[in-house]
Every structure is written in C-alpha cells, then in structure tokens.
Amino acid sequence: MFTTRSPAHDTLEHLDRIEAWVRARFSVPDDQIVLVSEERGRVPGFPPRLTTILFWMARDERYRFRVFKPAAQVDKSDLPLAWLRPALIDDGDADCC
C-alpha cells in the first residue's frame, strides 16, 4: 500500500547542486536546513515538473520559493537575488507558488 520512492541518482546530484547554490546565495548557516525537491505540477497551467526550495535562517525563520523547471534544468540564474530574501518568507500559505 505504501512505498518509498527514491529519486534517481542523477536527480540527487541536481538537488545537491541547487542546495549548495541556495546556501551560498542566501548565506544559510551550516546548522540550518535547506530542502530541495522536484515534484509533479498538480495545478492546471503549471509545468509538468517543478523544483521547490525551502530553507531556514533561524528556528522560526523559514523561506520558500519554486522554480518552474525540473531540477536538472535549474541554473544559478533561476534563483532569486539575495536581497529579495524577505519576499520569500514562508507564511504557511499552501497556495503560494
């Protein structure tokens, strides 16, 4: 009934690459979490695969953004500029893109 789905090895490499870029771009401390995932687009009009990035700067300071491309196609230039970090604050709104 329940199965564990592991991403392909090359996908893990892309997720690790994006995590490193996010840590560098936003100066995420080493003791904080950066989560990068590739998911299926579930909303009509969205691309079939997209990449979601969540990161923390402190215990109660979470940020989130999406890149509307599969992880393999994400480039450093797809990440928001560092000074836009306040606009990425995650307030828990599930409808955010």
Residue count of the chain, please give it. 97
Give the pLDDT confidence score for residue 54 in this predicted structure: 96
Give the pLDDT confidence score for residue 95 in this predicted structure: 56
Predicted confidence (pLDDT) per residue in 14-42, tens digit: 999 999 999 999 999 999 999 999 999 88
Cβ proximity of 63 and 54 under 8 Å? yes
CA angle 82, 37, 35 (to 5 degrees): 55
Give the pLDDT confidence score for residue 41 in this predicted structure: 86
Mean pLDDT of 75-93: 92
